[in-house]
Structures are given as C-alpha cells and as structure tokens.
Amino acid sequence: MKFENVTAVAAGNVYFEGKVVSHAIVMPSGAKKTLGVIMPGSYHFGTEAAEIMEIVKGDCSYVLDGSEESVAVPEGSQFEVPANSGFTITVAGEPCHYVCSFLA
C-alpha cells in the first residue's frame, strides 16, 4: 500500500508501553489516517469517529464493545468500528501492521 502527496506527522503515538505505535498522515483531501504496528498482546481502544482498520501484514482478531464475538482478521482484510464505541484487538503471532482510516 502506498500513499502519495501526503503530509506525515513525524512524532508517533505510543501506546501500551510501546507495544502499539502509530504515525498519522493527512491525505491531500484533508482526511486523516494512521499507520502502525501492534505487537503480540491484547489491547482496548476507544473511538470517537468511525474507522476502518485495514490489516496489511500479519493478522489479528477483535471484539467490538458490547459484543462477545471474537472475529478473526487475516492479512489483506479489514473491519469497521462504529463512532463513539471501542474494540479490543488481539495479536497472537507476528506483529500486525495496519492502516486506520477515520470516517466522517
């Protein structure tokens, strides 16, 4: 996956003692995305805006807030998280690389 003509924010967001790291990019349209890596473990994130998580390398599973269903997400797949909610993402094997797109 390649992005052209974007503005990259050099300072990263570091979560869970460095086990999740992301960097923001701003698309020419003004839309924001984050690119990151998640090390093995289980992590909970809250959302303000709805988002799409694209898994570009590795795999993971997630559980949306209010659900007990764990959904497997293989490399090359994506999942959507509603606004004003949250999810728990679990990485069991190799690090999981993702692109998160925020929806308006």
CATH number at residue 14: 2.60.120.10
What size, in residues, is the chain?
104
Structural domain containing residue 79: 7-102
Residue 21 has pLDDT above 90, yes or no: yes
What pLDDT sits at residue 83? 95
The single-letter DSSP state of residue 34 is: E
Residue 73 falls within a domain, yes or no? yes
Residue 60 falls within a domain, yes or no? yes
Residues 42 and 6: their CA atoms lie apart, in Å, by 31
Residue 1 falls within a domain, yes or no? no
Closest to 103 (Cα-Cα) out of 64, 52, 53:
52
pTM: 0.92
What pLDDT sits at residue 2? 87
Query: How many separate domains does the chain show?
Result: 1
Query: pLDDT tens digit string along 38-92?
Result: 999 999 999 999 999 999 999 999 999 999 999 999 999 999 999 999 999 999 9
Residue 2 falls within a domain, yes or no? no
8 CB neighbour count, 10 Å cutoff: 10
